[in-house]
Structure 1
Amino acid sequence: MIHNRLVEERYSLPIEHARSYAVLQGMELANCLGWGFDGIVFGTTHRSVVKAHVSYKVYQQELVVYQRLKALEIHSVEGFRVPRLVGQNSELHVIEMTTVTPPYVLDFVAAGIDGPLHDWPEEVLRLEREKYREEFGKNWPMVARLLSEFRKLGIFLSDIHPRNIAFIQDDIETPED
């Protein structure tokens, strides 16, 4: 399932929580889809995705965003799919969600509800926007619209990069040779 010893060591408890959640739901974990600072993500035999968080705090931060999306019955924003909440377990710090294909927006652990999660100085925010413009290239105007639409929903995204906001492959800017 995971072929990286360091990942297995760093995420041993979240991996165990994901396995326990899968057993409780009568499913099996499939492939590891990725990991980051806040947790690890697996596909499941129920064609869903399970994210096991490293702490209750980050689990709760992400869960409130999925609950907001569910309450508003949001399945996409500006044509970009967002995963829908399928289930969750507070004791295990696990969120189960639907799978999505590009174009999509995902990973809401660093998003704030009704305001930014962090109060960064304006200079830091300016540098971040410059970095985003560079990373997204010609797609930046669409990303800026997405961020604005999410803010209208009371969701303030901050972990903004091409792995979390994916375009259809043909829409991605490629460097000239």
Structure 2
Amino acid sequence: MAFSKLSLISLFGVSAATKARDLTPLVTHITLTMPLSNRPARMLALATVAAESLAVVALFVFPLLGFIVSLVLLACFTVHLSRVVASGVATSCACAGSSESTVSAVHVVRNAILIGVALAGIASMSFRPAASVAIQLTVAGPAMLFGAGMLWLDEITRFFSPRYSRSG
């Protein structure tokens, strides 16, 4: 449970913070991929930041609720990203603010992995008591790197691609 919980806290915490710092990439993504004008798109972007923040708080305070909120958010994001990939619209995911990478199957696979992390968190709650502080501290670093790193999986895969060019 500790790995799942800390991974999702890191993922949604970094995601909400980067979006809150600059909503423009997410608003642009929404207006390009949904039939919404700028003002409703901005409201949806703010609601997204609020929902991700709720997931972080819930994971700390009521872990089962946090896992469920995470699962619902990830499922919604995955359906949306799948529709964007199928439509062929070339736009940034805006999952962690501004990005040069366009939405691709990498985003859908990443979210499927994260859905598995949320499901594992739910399943682990019913089989084991809460992890000790020592275990949580041991797992914290790798879990937080995993969670935050998943936000930039598209950038990481692009970096290791044979077509990657450092000059842009």
Q: TM-score, length-normalised on structure 1? A: 0.28
Structure with more helix by fraction: 2
Return the TM-score normalized by structure 2. 0.30
Of structures 1 and 2, the one with the larger relative CO (CA 8 A, separation 6+) is 2
